[in-house]
Amino acid sequence: MTDKTTTPYSSQCDILAELWVDYKNDPEFEDFISYNDIGLPLAYAISTGIVSSTPLAQGFITETFDLFITGLEIEDTGFENLEDILTLTGLSE
């Protein structure tokens, strides 16, 4: 996992929520989506205001985000949205 996360927690929630909604059936992310079956929907629920965050939820989401960044083999430079990440990795549509 990354040593230092610079992407704000609220952006992590938004990024992971978008990833879960838009790419949950994408074969490129199949293993990641399957493994993070708690962190991704939790990020979505927090991002959309369905539930409020808790320290425990933040732990799940931060871990999921770190796994995402690590899996893509990029450094967390303070991302604002999923498109920034996908563009950096060449996965952008």
Six-digit token pair at 44? Answer: 């979505």
CA distance 52 to 92: 30
Percent of the chain at pLDDT exceeding 90: 88
Residue 91's pLDDT band, with cuts at 50, 70 and 90, is confident
SS3 5: coil
- Tell me the average pLDDT of the chain: 93
CA distance 2 to 54: 22
Residue 1 has pLDDT above 60, yes or no: no
For the segment 47-87, what is each residue's pLDDT rounded down to a tens digit? 999 999 999 999 999 999 999 999 999 999 999 999 999 99
Residue 73 pLDDT: 94
Six-digit token pair at 41? Answer: 């929907």
